[in-house]
Chains A and B, each alone.
Chain A
Amino acid sequence: MNKIIRTSLAGLLSSTMITGAAFAAGTHPKTGEALADDQTFTYRILDEHSSVDPQVVEDVSGAEIVRDLFEGLMNQDEDGNLVPGVATGYTVNDTKDVYTFTLRDEAKWSNGDPVTAGDFVFAWKRAVDPELSSPYAWFMELMSIENAAEIIAGNASVDDLGVKAIDDKTLEVRLSAPLPYFPQMTTHSTTFPAPQKVIEEFGDAWTKPENIVSNGAYVLTEHLPQERSVRERNEMYWDNDNTIIDKVVALVINDENVALTRYLAGELDRTEIPAGQYPRLKEEHPDEAISFPRLCNYYYTFNLSDGGPEAFKDPNVRQALSLAVDRSIITEKVLAGGQPEAYTFAPEATAGFTVPDVEMASMSQAERDELAKELLAEAGYGPDNPLSFQMVYNTAENHKKVAVALSQMWKQKLGVNAELANMEWKVFLEERGNQNFELARGAWCGDYNEASTFLDLLQSDSGYNDGKYNNARVDELLAEAKTSDDPAPLYTEVERIIAQETPVIPIYHYAGVYMMDSDVGNWPVNNVEQNWYSKNLYKLAE
């Protein structure tokens, strides 16, 4: 109902043609709130972004900028629902392997050229082209676009990619397998259009502010590496009249405590809250400290490969260790940022995912500890024969705190000796990827909002399955879920098996924990992927 009202309001407004300038000192067209004169949004990023080339970008802060500069076929709204972008809509054939998108006539590049289906064809071919060697080429493979895998492998020509411009405003995509959630994947930056003429003229330097041409709500006007990047309103954007924020500034601040200080001094509108500081900040600034669930998990994985420790081959041992972890201590005392405790691998926030009733979640911690002791004794470990192993994590203060808490819980409750070892990030990835560990930290953020983005990690042949967990039934269920119209019960069964066999110890699910200036309107806290668009934000008058 709400949604219907909102949509019709939006339609009404776009028909009355309000200009951008009218917002500046005025009121918000939908909510009627008074708007600030200065519509500049300034936020902190942890690190310099890798690129603003849509087909090349591979980091979160880069993707955030790309989502403002470019616009793909579809966008997400504040709740993560699919809404039209450059495409006004799409049709799909009965076998769900040919999608046809219709592009809006008024979509333009920042130099005034129309956005055509050919721009998408160029971009998508570019993404799989071995010559560009995009680090996100695999995403096109994941989208099951016809011949994508063959082109990446060098066994087919780029021109064989299953994407075609029927005419300037009609794009046809052929898939190698039916994919019900294909349109959702077109909100990902890898699929955004690219300006062929500009790229051919400037080569790798086309993304510099003086050269770049883009089709999103903003254009890049300034980039000082390791310091700041600035994007400003794109007057050519088809929905420019409904865009309120004029200017977005991303400041690179490596240290989160310095970022917090600068936020408190009024230099930033948004920054992350360092672990453990949320309760204090919430008390001092109740309107500004916010926490909401995100689409990421945090876990420890057992090494179940042949080279892994013998003790972990026994499911009782694994389950005992998982049971003895008091998640509430981690989420409430160590992190204290409103993170949900985790008893399943996929977060509850995942769309269409019902958290199964795993037994552990409904027990009290005392009951869990009791069962853990029994299971471990059953496996043959006790005071005379204590279980010992090494747990590794990548060097970072927060990971260390969690690891220390875990090892203490195991020591006190079960008499287990867990030796801590930390490694520099790349060393850690290399060692974990080669199964040179006993118990290792892991974390995963969803590539798209569907449970398979997490559960696929536990598929026996997944490249991300560092623990080498292997269960034929899990593989079967996950394969079935790919083409199923209702995969939810299949995912639930996978989670039940995982809870039983415990190849991983889920610890918590992430929360977005931010200081957000109370004059920032419409931050999409309900978008669990945190795909935010500056064009949907606004600044309120103080």
Chain B
Amino acid sequence: MLAYSVRRLLVAIPTILLLIVACFFLMHVAPGGPFTSERPLPPQVLANIEARYGLDQPLWKQLWDYLYNIVVHFDFGPSFKFKDRDVNDIIAQGFPISLTYGSLSFLFATAVGVSLGIAAAIRHNTWIDYFAVGLGIAAQALPNFIMGPILILTFTLWLGWLPGGGWHGGQWQYLVMPVIALATSYMGSIARITRSSMLEVLNSNFIRTARAKGLPTRTVIWRHALKPTLLPVVSYLGPVFVYVLTGSVFVDIYFSTGGLGQAYVGSALSRDYAVLLGVTILYGALTVIVNLLTDLAYAWFDPKIRY
């Protein structure tokens, strides 16, 4: 298993390198640059700025310098838009925020989603099942960019219980709405996947054997049914974990949380090349690591899988 992990991580290096190169060239192909503005800069001023950031160099040289600085100095370059911060600052400031509300949303969506799914499957075709399925579909049908404004209207304007946005170091009042808004649609999907997977498992032969042995229902569910039920859920959760971090742009826009999602989209729109690349690399690396963890988790959930 260790050898497998090391092999996977080694493969990740060329993958991320390829990602950087592809992203770098795509970025430069996009019309306009970081200093294109409604008030076009006089050519001399523009030339001075481009010289300052090395944008007057040929593309291959820019790419080489960029990679060199990352590998040797772990420096992801300056932001073109925010003059007093570089990419390292922006990630150091935004990523912990995204990670906090992203992880909480992930835990919330998983815990509630799996519980709902299991309850629905065990009480198949009862009111619990209908309730869980109804809730799951409703949650899935409400993407976070709809949930955001609805929550703010309800809890900030009408009820006056929660502040409408901000971060304030992650105090709980400021976390509630972002976490719920981000979690709901994933929660709905997780509930549905869990439910159908559990139903399938409960109809399988080994469960029938377990019941025939006279095991109590609780043991059958927890000891025998749960692990195989969660297998498809886990393969869904891997990408979800990356989505709750990358998809957080809506949360950042609606709740002014200051996370990395806004920096990601903002940098693409303002052609802030270094920030865009830096965040892309971070998300790329995160995807690689989470995929590896997901694969390793399979081995634990399914005795048939061995690395």
| A positions within 8 Å CB-CB of B | 47-48, 50-53, 56, 58, 130-131, 133-135, 137-138, 141, 152-154, 204-208, 224-228, 251-255, 257-258, 261-262, 264-265, 267, 424-427, 429-431, 433, 443, 463-464
Q: What number of residue pairs across chains A and B have CB atoms under 8 A from each other?
A: 144
Question: Looking across the interface, which residue of chain B has its beta carbon closest to that of A444?
Answer: B38
Determine whether the beta carbon of A258 is less than 8 Å from that of B164.
yes
CA distance A152 to B48 in the complex (A): 8
Contacts of B152 in A (CB 8 A): 258, 261-262
| Chain B 27-68 residues near chain A, CB threshold 8 A | 30-33, 35-42, 44-45, 48-49, 51-52
Contacts of A51 in B (CB 8 A): 82-84
Interface stretch (choices B5-13, B202-210, B252-260): B252-260
Determine whether the beta carbon of B164 is less than 8 Å from that of A265.
yes
Contacts of A427 in B (CB 8 A): 30-32
| Chain B 192-206 residues near chain A, CB threshold 8 A | none
B214 → chain A closest CB, angstroms: 58
Determine whether the beta carbon of B39 is less than 8 Å from that of A464.
yes
| B positions within 8 Å CB-CB of A | 30-33, 35-42, 44-45, 48-49, 51-52, 81-85, 90, 93-94, 148-149, 152-153, 156-157, 160, 163-167, 252-254, 256-259, 262-263, 266, 269-271
Give the interface centre of A138, A251, A254 by most chain B CB atoms within 10 Å.
A254
CA distance A427 to B44 in the complex (A): 22
Q: Lowest 5 CB-CB distances: which A-B pairs, in order? A: A426-B32, A227-B258, A262-B164, A133-B48, A226-B258
Contacts of A154 in B (CB 8 A): 44, 48
B102 → chain A closest CB, angstroms: 16
Determine whether the beta carbon of B156 is less than 8 Å from that of A426.
no
Q: Which of A204, A253, A258 contacts B84 (CB 8 A)?
A: A204
CA distance A135 to B55 in the complex (A): 15
Contacts of A227 in B (CB 8 A): 166-167, 256-258
Determine whether the beta carbon of A463 is less than 8 Å from that of B40.
yes
- 8 other A-B residue contacts (CB within 8 Å) besides A138-B42, A204-B84, A433-B40: A47-B266, A133-B52, A152-B42, A225-B93, A226-B257, A226-B263, A261-B149, A426-B30
Determine whether the beta carbon of B31 is less than 8 Å from that of A426.
yes
CA distance A130 to B42 in the complex (A): 13
Q: Which of B93, B258, B266, B271 contacts A426 (CB 8 A)?
A: B271
A431 → chain B closest CB, angstroms: 7
CA distance A47 to B81 in the complex (A): 12
CA distance A429 to B271 in the complex (A): 13
Contacts of B85 in A (CB 8 A): 225
Interface of B is mostly: loop
CA distance A255 to B255 in the complex (A): 9
Task: Knowing A131-B52, A137-B48, A430-B36 are in contact, say whether A267-B163 is a contact too (CB < 8 A).
Answer: yes
A458 → chain B closest CB, angstroms: 15
Determine whether the beta carbon of B31 is less than 8 Å from that of A431.
yes
Task: Knowing A207-B84, A426-B30 are in contact, say whether A254-B157 is a contact too (CB < 8 A).
Answer: no
A258 → chain B closest CB, angstroms: 5
Contacts of A433 in B (CB 8 A): 36, 40
Question: Looking across the interface, which residue of chain A has its beta carbon closest to that of B269?
Answer: A425
CA distance A296 to B42 in the complex (A): 22
Contacts of A208 in B (CB 8 A): 84
CA distance A133 to B51 in the complex (A): 9
Determine whether the beta carbon of A258 is less than 8 Å from that of B148.
yes
CA distance A257 to B157 in the complex (A): 12
Determine whether the beta carbon of A426 is less than 8 Å from that of B83.
no
Contacts of A262 in B (CB 8 A): 152, 156, 164-165
Contacts of A133 in B (CB 8 A): 45, 48-49, 51-52
CA distance A431 to B35 in the complex (A): 15
B268 → chain A closest CB, angstroms: 9
Question: Looking across the interface, which residue of chain B has its beta carbon closest to that of A254?
Answer: B253
Question: Looking across the interface, which residue of chain B has its beta carbon closest to that of A57?
Answer: B83
Contacts of A264 in B (CB 8 A): 157
Question: Looking across the interface, which residue of chain B has its beta carbon closest to that of A212?
Answer: B84
Contacts of A58 in B (CB 8 A): 37
Contacts of B32 in A (CB 8 A): 425-427, 429-430
CA distance A32 to B107 in the complex (A): 56
Determine whether the beta carbon of A251 is less than 8 Å from that of B84.
no
Contacts of B166 in A (CB 8 A): 227-228, 251
Question: Looking across the interface, which residue of chain B has its beta carbon closest to that of A55?
Answer: B83
B226 → chain A closest CB, angstroms: 41
A172 → chain B closest CB, angstroms: 25
Question: Looking across the interface, which residue of chain B has its beta carbon closest to that of A424?
Answer: B269
Report 25 cross-chain contacts, Cβ distance below 8 Å, ordered by A residue: A50-B81, A56-B83, A58-B37, A135-B35, A135-B45, A137-B45, A152-B42, A154-B48, A207-B83, A225-B93, A226-B94, A227-B256, A227-B258, A251-B166, A253-B165, A255-B253, A258-B164, A261-B149, A265-B160, A267-B156, A426-B33, A429-B36, A430-B36, A433-B40, A443-B38
Determine whether the beta carbon of A226 is less than 8 Å from that of B45.
no
Question: Looking across the interface, which residue of chain A has its beta carbon closest to that of B90?
Answer: A225
Give the interface centre of B33, B156, B270 by most chain A CB atoms within 10 Å.
B156
Determine whether the beta carbon of A50 is less than 8 Å from that of B83.
yes
A194 → chain B closest CB, angstroms: 13
Determine whether the beta carbon of B254 is less than 8 Å from that of A153.
no
CA distance A535 to B39 in the complex (A): 30
Contacts of B149 in A (CB 8 A): 255, 257-258, 261
Question: Looking across the interface, which residue of chain B has its beta carbon closest to that of A223?
Answer: B84
Question: Looking across the interface, which residue of chain B has its beta carbon closest to that of A442?
Answer: B38
CA distance A433 to B39 in the complex (A): 10
CA distance A225 to B40 in the complex (A): 26
Determine whether the beta carbon of A254 is less than 8 Å from that of B40.
no
CA distance A135 to B160 in the complex (A): 43
Q: Which of B36, B44, B163 contacts A153 (CB 8 A)?
A: B44
Question: Looking across the interface, which residue of chain A has its beta carbon closest to that of B35?
Answer: A135
Q: Which of A53, A205, A226 contacts B256 (CB 8 A)?
A: A226
Contacts of B253 in A (CB 8 A): 254-255, 258
Determine whether the beta carbon of A251 is less than 8 Å from that of B167.
no
